[in-house]
């Protein structure tokens, strides 16, 4: 039940010190994308301290740390200044053993409260850390420090590009700078009004080719945190959700984003009584709002923005300021270059008709194509995605039929009552004037009926696209 979603979640003040490790190693399993759930510092003006152990191990290391600090200061997102007093510092640089001898360095976040301290430890037991710019056999310490400072400031790892600063795997003799991805992540956690821009350059960019769907809990969908440390709830066990999961949040100005390469992007979400208004940005351009409120629950409601031009883009879904305080935004999936039906007739068996829930087929010579799909389970739904300006939806009226909510492109259109005293095949309801581009019609079984009906069945016979 959606209403069991918690209204408040653990955060803000942790009762005792909790140590979170983030380590830089050769290979680390995927865990998060860019903005981590470590939480940012409350302040943007921070102090750091270089411990004696760093000077003692290698006299060249303190200046390499300072170089990394200067690069983060140059972003103007944060301002780090050095202190000679350990107790004054928010971030401590140390040289010492790390949790594993394979690590280059590790960042421990000391989350005694929402405002935390970070200890960055460079592995002194390795002899291959140093000036990677002039010595290709060395892992470059300024690069390692830029990366670990990213963690300390609240960033996780990225899987977009192995050349990006927050890749889990740095390489010998390779210099990693603060790139657009890391900067986006840091602005995301420190600047609530920052709107993401599409990234330029780079290679090995992760993207979906035709029709690829990314679940809300994929590494490529950034629901790890919101501004001011607000945490998305990653929820599973929903049989009608994509991959059984949805993620949701109701903190002010919470956001989710997804980088992709393609010509269109489809945002799928859940409509429900505890859902509210989200504003969508693509490549930093305001695309308007999506209102996910509905008195009933509708799964995998989809809206597509198409004609973006093949290339790199970023979609950002942000909780809108008009959203009432108790209403969530949610994300179920993003689909890049969704498959679409063209003009013409498409039976309910079309691959573009997606069954959500427990639909069954009923064969009859009276039906278009010789069969219909039917369900009487509330919250079951069927979606059909097409390109055209108008769609006709054909169904059967009968004595045991109930009501369905019809939603197109995330906007509720009407409640369709399929009841009639006598069976009437191939009844039609028309939705003209949709405008060019990709559209999705969503038919959701309400489990409701008028009193004369003997059942709550909804059926789907054929779609005709114009």
Contact positions toward Zn ion, by CB under 5 A? 24
Min dist CB 224 to Zn ion, Å, is 14
Q: Which backbone phi and psi does 285 adopt, to 5 degrees? A: -100, 130
**Cα distance between residue 2 and residue 231, in whole Å:** 18
Residue nearest to Zn ion (CB): 24
Min dist CB 146 to Zn ion, Å, is 11
Q: In which residue are the tokens 């102090």 written? A: 47
* Closer residue to Zn ion (CB): 24 or 153: 24
* Closer residue to Zn ion (CB): 24 or 301: 24
Full DSSP string of 148-183: HHHHHHTB----S-TTSTT-S---TT------HHHH
* Closer residue to Zn ion (CB): 65 or 249: 65
Distance of CA 259 to the CA centre of its chain: 9
Query: CA torsion sign, 344 to 347 to 351 to 352?
Result: positive
**Cα distance between residue 221 and residue 10, in whole Å:** 22
Min dist CB 29 to Zn ion, Å, is 12
Is there a contact between 313 and 264 (Cβ–Cβ < 8 Å)? no
Full DSSP string of 302-321: EEEE----SEEEEEEEEE-T
* Closer residue to Zn ion (CB): 164 or 248: 164
Min dist CB 166 to Zn ion, Å, is 7
* Closer residue to Zn ion (CB): 69 or 465: 69
Min dist CB 25 to Zn ion, Å, is 8
* Closer residue to Zn ion (CB): 24 or 434: 24
* Closer residue to Zn ion (CB): 31 or 82: 31
Min dist CB 27 to Zn ion, Å, is 11
**Cα distance between residue 22 and residue 148, in whole Å:** 8
Is there a contact between 40 and 154 (Cβ–Cβ < 8 Å)? yes
* Closer residue to Zn ion (CB): 146 or 259: 146
* Closer residue to Zn ion (CB): 25 or 294: 25
Min dist CB 169 to Zn ion, Å, is 9
Distance of CA 160 to the CA centre of its chain: 14
Min dist CB 118 to Zn ion, Å, is 13
Going by C-alpha positions, the residue among 50, 176, 57 that lies closest to residue 123 is 57
Going by C-alpha positions, the residue among 58, 39, 62 that lies closest to residue 50 is 62
Q: Which of the 8 DSSP states describes residue 54?
A: H
Min dist CB 215 to Zn ion, Å, is 24
Tell me the angle at which helices 61-74 and 141-153 cross, rounded to the nearest 10 degrees.
50
Min dist CB 212 to Zn ion, Å, is 27
Going by C-alpha positions, the residue among 264, 301, 319, 273 that lies closest to residue 413 is 301
* Closer residue to Zn ion (CB): 170 or 292: 170
**Cα distance between residue 111 and residue 228, in whole Å:** 14
**Cα distance between residue 449 and residue 389, in whole Å:** 31
């Amino acid at each position: 039940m959606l209403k069991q979603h918690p209204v408040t979640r653990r955060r803000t003040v942790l009762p005792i010190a909790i140590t979170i490790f983030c380590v830089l190693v050769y290979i680390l399993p995927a865990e998060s994308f860019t903005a981590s759930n470590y939480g940012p510092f409350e302040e943007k003006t921070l102090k750091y301290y270089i411990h004696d152990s760093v000077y003692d191990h290698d006299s060249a290391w303190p200046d390499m740390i300072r170089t990394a600090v200067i690069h983060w200061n140059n972003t103007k997102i944060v301002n780090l200044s050095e202190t000679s007093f350990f107790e004054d510092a928010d971030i401590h640089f140390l040289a010492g053993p790390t949790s594993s001898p394979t690590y280059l360095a590790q960042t421990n976040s000391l989350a005694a409260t929402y405002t935390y301290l970070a200890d960055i430890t460079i592995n002194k037991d390795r002899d291959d850390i140093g000036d990677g710019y002039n010595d290709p056999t060395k892992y470059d310490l300024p690069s390692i420090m830029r990366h670990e400072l990213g963690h300390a400031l609240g960033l996780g790892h990225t899987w977009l590009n192995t050349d990006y600063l927050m890749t889990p795997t740095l390489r010998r003799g390779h210099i990693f700078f603060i790139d657009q991805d890391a900067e986006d992540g840091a602005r995301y956690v420190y600047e609530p009004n920052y709107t993401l821009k599409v990234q330029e350059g780079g290679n090995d960019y992760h993207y979906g080719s035709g029709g690829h769907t990314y679940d809300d809990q994929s590494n490529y969908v950034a629901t790890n945190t919101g501004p001011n440390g607000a945490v998305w709830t990653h929820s599973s066990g929903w049989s009608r959700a994509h991959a059984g999961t949805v993620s949701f949040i109701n903190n002010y100005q919470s956001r989710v984003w997804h980088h992709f390469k393609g010509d269109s992007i489809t945002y799928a979400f859940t409509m429900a009584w505890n859902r509210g208004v989200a504003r969508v940005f693509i490549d930093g351009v305001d695309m308007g709002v999506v209102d996910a409120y509905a008195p009933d629950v509708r799964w995998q409601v989809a809206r597509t923005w198409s004609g973006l031009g093949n290339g790199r883009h970023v979609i950002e879904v942000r909780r809108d300021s008009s959203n009432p305080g108790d209403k969530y935004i949610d994300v179920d999936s993003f689909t890049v270059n969704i498959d679409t039906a063209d003009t013409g007739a498409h039976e309910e068996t079309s691959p573009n008709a997606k069954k959500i829930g427990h639909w069954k087929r009923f064969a009859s010579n009276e039906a278009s194509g010789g069969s219909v799909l039917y369900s009487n389970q509330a919250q079951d739904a069927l979606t059909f995605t097409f390109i055209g300006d108008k769609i006709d939806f054909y169904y059967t009226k009968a004595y045991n039929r109930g009501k369905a909510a019809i939603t197109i492109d995330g906007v509720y259109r009407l409640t369709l009552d399929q009841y009639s005293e006598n069976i009437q095949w191939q009844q039609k309801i028309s939705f003209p004037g949709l405008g060019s581009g990709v559209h999705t019609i969503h038919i959701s079984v309400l489990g409701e009926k008028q009193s004369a009906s003997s059942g709550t069945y909804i059926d789907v016979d054929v779609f005709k696209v114009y």
